[in-house]
Amino acid sequence: MIHINPTLTPSDLSAKLQRFWALSAQKIRLIEQHYDVANGSPVFTVKGQYTTRGWTEWTQGFQFGSAILQFDATGETDFLEYGRKNTLAVMAPHVSHIGVHDHGFNNVSTYGNLLRLMHEGKIEFNEWEKNFYELALKISGAVQASRWTSIKNRDGGLGGFIHSFNGAHSLFVDTIRSCRALVVSHQLGHVFQGEGDVKINLLERALLHIKATADFSVFYGEGRDSYDLWGRTAHESVFNVKDGNFRCPNSQQGYTGFSTWTRGLAWAMCGFPEQLEALESISDAQLVPFGGREAVEAMMLKAARATCDFYIEHTPIDGIPYWDTGAPNLYKLGDYLNRPADPFNDHEPVDSSAAAIGAQGLLRLGYYLTSKGDEESGKRYWQAGLTVLNSLLEEPYLSTDPNHQGLLLHSIYHQPNGWDYVPEGSKIAYGESSMWGDYHIREAALYVQRIINKEPYYAFLNCVK
């Protein structure tokens, strides 16, 4: 399990963060100079150079969002202009993309971050520019919400979820973080309408999706099946779309539906605490139809605690996980949970991108619990998050090669499909980066840096005034 450093403070990371943002700037400029966006969204690196993968267009918002985060962290205006220019030039198709469940990734990372910076006073206020960002976010949330499947909840009531690109039967645990798009659209006052001008409540769809994820994607050790452990997650939950009944867990990028793909786990770790934070901006009256504030918070908090606990217990001591906790060759590594992760081993890859996403989830949950008076639990998660981030901010995970376009090394995209580059002479993939890993390590670094600098707390709903 993770050896949590109980004395580490955000300020202890200051020197590492300064080095990190200098390297980050180099990587963004390398991609800007050498990557042709006409090829599509950059996804992951091969021999240190970003390339694309024709699956779905879910990573381009991370490319330009990274430049916006760089400006937020350093004040370097050329990154702001690069992010702003390309959001205008390239991101419109992502706003209306009806074929993906990734609107929170693409559009909150670009339009949302730009609007947030305007409201925070970090960029000059312009009414028309604000209206442009708001319109994009309103429509993005509605398009995301239109991918709707109605189901039966575990208690027999009616529920639903935003289905993945696999089809109406498919609930992905990843999508918990894309619920940001619906919440932002709702909080901006958007009216989403269907046939016959029927008004569709965006908050309702977000909360029902979050509940479906908590009920079906997260396990609580309550005997659902033989592999039911507190905090384990399934990448995909499969439903019968004829009658709305749950059928089975499954996995697309993990090993099986009965093991835990660690990046999917990390999305849940980050998504639930983030939505708990967002509830602070939603009135009690709006939550009454869903059982009231206490019930909604309890549902989210249980899932957040469970997933973060599972990560702490099933990750090596330095906080960097292997790509799946049930990966078939982990046994060949011996007592791998009681030593630092080894990205250069001969048996199973690590996934640093899961660590980057998970670190933010641990930090947010720790901060949330502390703010609610649970200082003991809050400190445990907070210190775990700092411990993971501290590991990521140094080699072998931080990319220092000036010719490598990636920032966070040893990220894994799709191990079952064999999409990740395996260096000559190696038996496993290692040494490469992903656009989501690079974005999320920047986001975690920015989160902590703003704490150090006593800036406004970094939350996605800061884009709504």
Mind listing the pLDDT tens digit for each residue in 270-307?
999 999 999 999 999 999 999 999 999 999 999 999 99
Q: What are residue 45's phi and psi, to 5 degrees?
A: -95, 150
Give the mean model confidence (pLDDT) for residues 222-234. Answer: 95
How confident is the model at residue 154, as a pLDDT? Answer: 86
| Segment 372-388, tens digit of pLDDT | 999 999 999 999 999 99
Distance CA 393, CA 302 (A): 30
Average pLDDT score, the chain: 97
How confident is the model at residue 40, as a pLDDT? Answer: 83
pLDDT at 410 over 90: yes
Q: Which domains does the chain have, with CATH numbers?
A: 10-46+146-463 (1.50.10.10)
Share of the chain above pLDDT 70, in %: 100
Q: Quick check: 145 and 103 in contact, CB under 8 A?
A: no
Q: Quick check: 392 and 441 in contact, CB under 8 A?
A: yes
Residue 286, Ramachandran bin (φ over 0: left; ψ between -120 and 50: alpha; else beta): alpha
Among candidate residues 148, 69, 77, the one with its CA nearest the CA of residue 113: 69
Q: Quick check: 38 and 89 in contact, CB under 8 A?
A: no
pLDDT at 37 over 80: no
Per the structure block, which two tokens stand in for 66? 């990274």
Q: What is the DSSP letter of 456?
A: P
pLDDT at 55 over 80: no
| Segment 143-202, tens digit of pLDDT | 999 999 999 988 888 999 999 999 999 999 999 999 999 999 999 999 999 999 999 999
User: Residue 465 — pLDDT band, cuts 50, 70, 90?
Assistant: confident
How confident is the model at residue 157, as a pLDDT? Answer: 86
| Segment 20-30, tens digit of pLDDT | 999 999 999 99
How confident is the model at residue 119, as a pLDDT? Answer: 97
Q: Which residues contact 17 (CB under 8 A, 6 or more apart)?
A: 393, 445, 448, 449, 452
**162 three-state secondary structure:** strand
**230 three-state secondary structure:** coil
How confident is the model at residue 327, as a pLDDT? Answer: 98
